[in-house]
Amino acid sequence: MKSGDTTLHLFNYYFTSHPKDLTPLNVKELSKSIQGLKYVYNDILVTAVPIIKPGDTLKYTQIDPQKISSLTIIDKLALLKQAIAPIYAHATTRNFEMPALKTLEYNLIIKQGKQYFKISQPVLVVYNLICNNMIYFPNQFKDGILTASDKYSKGYNMGDFKEIADETKNAFIWKELENRTYLSETVRNNPFNLKIFSYWEFLNADVESIKLNPAVLKQYHPGLGSFDLLPKVGIVNCTMDYYLTGKILFNQKSRFKIMTVNGKTPQSFGKLYQPERSNEIKAVE
């Protein structure tokens, strides 16, 4: 993806055992998902985004294949388990200190043919669960729980929340609205010509503390910012406001133009898209 002098690459690891349809959130079944892919009831999405500063490009170094075994490699099952533990906590509890659904702890290795390349830039990794929940506002919106359904979801923006706060004149309401990921809109008019769901992170005032220790991410620190989801594929666009501009912004429109999805233009991908083939989709550039 490109916007002016800024480029972005998204890598999605999408775990599903329901190739075509989304399912309602089921925390009992969610806890079983750590046993393997065939036990995954709700879709689990892990998105990795190298942080490429404006004016820079993706940088990587080639790795000798014989040295791969000396690295600590996380396989698919381990990655699934890493994601489910914090997602389960967010699905079942709501406290001020919650386990982070985002991290800068991992590096990313790309395999092209028989060659391996290690990304040189820091990589933001974010965990999400995708479902078609029907829960009353605002409890259908939780960090890491993305409801992707026209039938069960209404879009919200910051103006809506200011209006709610003004009407209720209750400071506690604002606290209840914070620390959730909200749907902003469903978009059909896009390069894919497919239904895309747009979300944004509403973080609390402690989000500013990332500037004190940017290497260790807390849950109230920035993640993808505002982002677009194509169900059964993954995140296909995002703003990454803080990591690219140093600004903490809410409910933004993405300024990036999608160039390719697995080497195909968005238009071509949209025509070929089949949810049951979503495990073949790994990269958006």
| C-alpha atoms less than 13 angstroms from C-alpha of 11 in its C-beta half-sphere | 14
Average pLDDT over residues 79-89: 92
CB 58 within 8 A of CB 50: yes
Asked if 257 contacts 283 with a C-beta cutoff of 8 angstroms, the reply is no
CA distance linking residue 42 with residue 28, whole number of Å? 11
Query: Which helix (DSSP H) or strand (DSSP E) does residue 243 occupy?
Result: helix 241-245
CA 91 → CA 29, 134, 160, 188, 272, distances in Å? 12, 14, 24, 29, 34
Q: How far apart are CA 203 and CA 168, in angstroms?
A: 21
Assigned token pair, 33 = 């998902």
For residue 235, which of 199, 187, 182 has the smallest C-alpha distance?
Answer: 199
How distant, in Å, are the alpha carbons of 32, 65, 110, 116, 117 from that of 113? 35, 11, 10, 8, 11
Structural domain of 111: 2-284
Q: Flag the least confident range among 9-18, 139-148, 253-262.
A: 139-148
pTM (predicted TM-score): 0.91
How many domains does the chain contain in total? 1
pLDDT in tens, 104-130: 999 999 988 889 999 999 999 999 999
Q: Greater confidence, 253 or 136?
A: 253
Give the amino acid at 42. N
Taking only the tens place, the pLDDT of each residue in 171-210 is 677 888 888 899 999 988 888 999 999 999 998 888 888 8
